[in-house]
Amino acid sequence: MSSKFPDWNNLAGFGEKMLDQALGHVGSLAGRMLEGNVRLGVTGLRRAGKTVFVTSLIDNLIRGGRLPFMDVVASNRFLAARLRSSPDRSAPRFAYEKYLANLTATPPHWPAATTGVAQLRMALRYVPVSSMRRSIQPISTINLDVIDYPGEWLMDLPMLNQSFAEWSSLTLELIEHQPRRQIGARWLHWLSTVSADQTADETTAKEGAAHYTEYLHACRRSQANLSLVQPGRFLEPGELAGAPVLTFCPLPAPASGSAPAGSLWALMSGRFEDYKTNVVRKFFLEHFARLDRQIVLVDVLGMLNAGPAALHDMRMALTACLEAFRHGRGGWLSKLTGGQIDKVLFAATKADHIAASQHGNLKNLLDMLVSEARNAIRFEGATVDTMALAAVKCTETVTTEHQGRKLACIQGTPLGRQKPTVLFPGSIPDGPDLFPLDIAQPYRFMDFEPPAGVGRDGRGLPNIRLDQALNFLLGDRLT
C-alpha cells in the first residue's frame, strides 16, 4: 500500500544533490571569474635577445625544472603550464616550437632575427595561497600573454609625441656629431641639393627616402652599434615594403618658416603623420595597450664592445622609448591605451658571457645606465628592479692559473667555432671610469654558440636568473 506522504529521506538526498550541483556551478563560475590575464611586455633594442628570452620563458614554464627561486615553484604550488590559442587572431603565433628546435638541433644554432610581430598565450595553473580563495577554487589559472617584435620598431614610439618639424630637428641635431656625420655623408649631401620649399615630386621623395634608409642601415651595421635609428620600419618594413608611407625623410625647416601646400616639406610632413597614425599608433595600440608588466632587455656587453658612443646612444634611446609607456599613474601613451604597468624589470642579457664573479658589476653598470629611466618610472609609482641574466646559458665559469694568478674564466664554444674553449673574457669596472683613454678597445666580449644537447634533459633550457626575473614579474599574481 503506497503512502500518501512524501519520502522525506529521498527528498533530502535530492535536495543535497541539487545543493552540491549549485555550489559546484557557483564555484566553477567564480573560478572562471578569478582566472586573470597578465600581459607581459618584453621590450628591448636590437640584439638584446627578445626572441631567445621568450622561447626560454615558455620552455621553462612548461618544463618547470629550472625555476628553483620562483616562489610558486619552490612552495610546490605550481602545477603546470600549457599553450593556449591567442585571443588576437590577426597576429601570427610566436613560433616557439621552431625556435626551440633551432636551439636543440644538432648542431644547435640561434634563431634568426625577428622581422615581424608574433604573440603567444600560456595558461599557468597553480594552487592559491589564500585559504578563502582555495575554498572557492582549489586550483587557479592565469593567462600570460607575451609578444615578440623587431627591436627596431620600438624606436618608433617616441615619434608619436613629435611633430615632423620636431622629429626633423632632433634627427638633424644627432647627425651633426660623430660617428653619425661620417656615416650619413651621402644623405647630408643629398639634403644640400634640395629645399623644403621646392615643389614636391615623387622622384625626389624616393631619392631622399632611399638615401636616409641607407644611412639608417649604415648606423645599424657600424661598429658604433647605434640604437637611436628611426623610423624602425625603414629597417624592418615587414608587409609595408615599397609602400608610399615609407617614402619620407627629415628635412631642414623651411626658410620662410612655413612651407606652402604642394611643397616637399608638405609632402614629407604628411607622410610622417600617416606613418604615425597608420603604422606606429596602430601597432602599439594593438600590441602594447594595457600592459601589466614589462621587462626591458639590454645588451650591455655589446654596447661596451662598441664603445662610449654606443652606450650614450643606447641611454638616449631607452629613455625616449620608455617615456611613452604608462608606468604607475603617468606616461602620455596612457591617453591612447589606458594601460598601467606597475612592475618593470631592467635586465642585462648574456650574463653567461662573463664569469659569475662579474655579474654584480654588470648589474651595477646597468643600474647606472638606466638610472634616469628607472627613477622616472619609480616616480610614477611603479616597482622597478634590475638584474643580470641569461635566457640560455652557454658557458660555465671555471678557474685557471696564469703567471701564478688565479683567473675566473668561462668555458664555451665561441660563435662560429666547433669546439669548446676556455678563455678569459675580461672584467667590468666597478666604477664610472669605463673607457680608459690609454686603451683603444678595452672590451672584447665574445658571443657563444648554444651548447650541444641543450635542454634535452627535459627540465627546460638552462639559464641564469630567469626564475628570479619571473618571480619579480609574476610572483604576486601567482599567490
Give the CATH number for residue 352.
Answer: 3.40.50.300
Name, in order, each residue with C-beta under 8 angstroms of 289's C-beta and a sequence gap of 6 or more: 336, 337, 338, 339
69 and 174 belong to one structural domain: no
Cell numbers 578563502 label which residue?
132
Retrieve residue 11's grid coordinates. Answer: 527528498
pLDDT of residue 276: 96
pLDDT of residue 30: 43
Cα atoms in the 13 Å half-sphere on the side-chain side of 327: 23
Report if residue 464 sits inside a domain. Answer: yes
Report if residue 131 sits inside a domain. Answer: yes
pTM of the model: 0.87
pLDDT of residue 225: 85
Report if residue 408 sits inside a domain. Answer: no
Strand order of the sheet with strand 36-44?
Answer: 78-84, 118-126, 140-148, 36-44, 293-298, 343-348, 383-388
pLDDT of residue 339: 60
For the chain, what is the domain count? 2
195 and 321 belong to one structural domain: no
113 and 176 belong to one structural domain: no
- Which of 266, 281, 296 corresponds to the end of one domain? 281
User: Which domain covers residue 205, as residue numbers?
Assistant: 157-281
46 and 143 belong to one structural domain: yes
Report if residue 429 sits inside a domain. Answer: no
Strand order of the sheet with strand 421-423?
Answer: 396-402, 405-412, 421-423
Q: Which residues of 431-456 are buried (b: 16+ CB within 10 A; e: fewer)?
A: eeebeeeeeeeebebbbbbbbeebbe
pLDDT of residue 172: 97
Are residues 142 and 478 in contact, defined by beta-carbon separation less than 8 angstroms?
A: yes
pLDDT of residue 95: 94
Report if residue 448 sits inside a domain. Answer: no
Are residues 153 and 283 in contact, defined by beta-carbon separation less than 8 angstroms?
A: yes
276 and 290 belong to one structural domain: no
Distance of alpha carbon 237 from alpha carbon 217, whole angstroms? 12
Report if residue 21 sits inside a domain. Answer: no
292 and 380 belong to one structural domain: yes
Report if residue 402 sits inside a domain. Answer: no
In single-letter form, the type of residue at position 74 comes to A
pLDDT of residue 28: 41
- Which of 262, 281, 300 corresponds to the end of one domain? 281
Cα atoms in the 13 Å half-sphere on the side-chain side of 181: 4
Report strand pairing: 343-348 vs 396-402.
unpaired
- Which of 281, 314, 348 corresponds to the end of one domain? 281
How do residues 162-213 score in pLDDT, each as one tens digit? 999 999 999 999 999 999 999 999 999 999 999 999 999 999 999 999 999 9
290 and 276 belong to one structural domain: no
pLDDT of residue 25: 44
272 and 326 belong to one structural domain: no
218 and 232 belong to one structural domain: yes
Nearest by Cα to 344 from 323, 364, 359: 323
Report if residue 165 sits inside a domain. Answer: yes
Report strand pairing: 293-298 vs 36-44.
parallel
Q: What is the DSSP letter of 475?
A: G
pLDDT in tens, the chain (479 residues): 444 444 545 545 545 555 445 444 444 444 444 568 999 989 888 789 999 999 999 999 999 999 999 999 999 999 999 999 887 777 889 999 999 999 999 999 999 888 888 899 999 999 999 777 777 778 999 999 998 888 888 889 899 999 999 999 999 999 999 999 999 999 999 999 999 999 999 999 999 999 999 999 999 888 888 989 999 999 989 889 889 999 999 999 998 778 889 999 999 999 999 999 999 998 888 877 778 899 999 999 999 999 998 888 988 888 888 887 778 754 545 545 556 888 999 999 999 999 999 999 999 999 998 998 888 888 888 899 999 999 999 999 999 987 878 899 999 999 999 999 999 999 998 877 898 887 878 999 999 999 999 988 999 999 999 999 999 999 999 98
Are residues 46 and 227 in contact, defined by beta-carbon separation less than 8 angstroms?
A: yes
pLDDT of residue 33: 42
312 and 384 belong to one structural domain: yes
382 and 316 belong to one structural domain: yes
322 and 462 belong to one structural domain: yes
Nearest by Cα to 322 from 356, 372, 394, 396: 372
